[in-house]
Structure 1
Amino acid sequence: MTEQHLPDASLDTGSVAAPQALREAAADAAAATGSKDAPAASGSSGSWTAPSAGERLRILRRTKTVAILGASNKPSRASYFVETYLLADSDFELWFVNPNETEVLGRPSYPSLEALPGVPDLVDVFRRPSELDAVLDDVIAVGSPVMWMQLGLADEAVARRGAEHGVTVVMNRCLKIEHARFHGGLHLAGFDTGVISSRRRAR
Structure 2
Amino acid sequence: MRLTGKIINWHADKAFGFITPNGGGDKIFIHKNALTNRNRSPKINDIVSFSVVKDNQGRYCADQATFAGEKVRNKHKKQVTPPIAKLSIYLPVLFFVVLTVSYFLHYLPQKIVFIYLGLSIITFFAYAFDKSKAQRGQWRTQESTLHLLALLGGWPGAAIAQQLLRHKSKKTEFRVVFWFTVVVNTAVLGWLMSAQRELLLSLLT
Q: When you count strand as a share of all residues, which structure comes out higher? A: 2
Does TM, scored on the shorter chain, surpass 0.5? no
Using structure 1 for the length normalisation, give the TM-score: 0.29
Q: When you count helix as a share of all residues, which structure comes out higher? A: 2
Look at both structures and tell me which one has the larger radius of gyration over its CA atoms. Answer: 2
Using structure 2 for the length normalisation, give the TM-score: 0.29
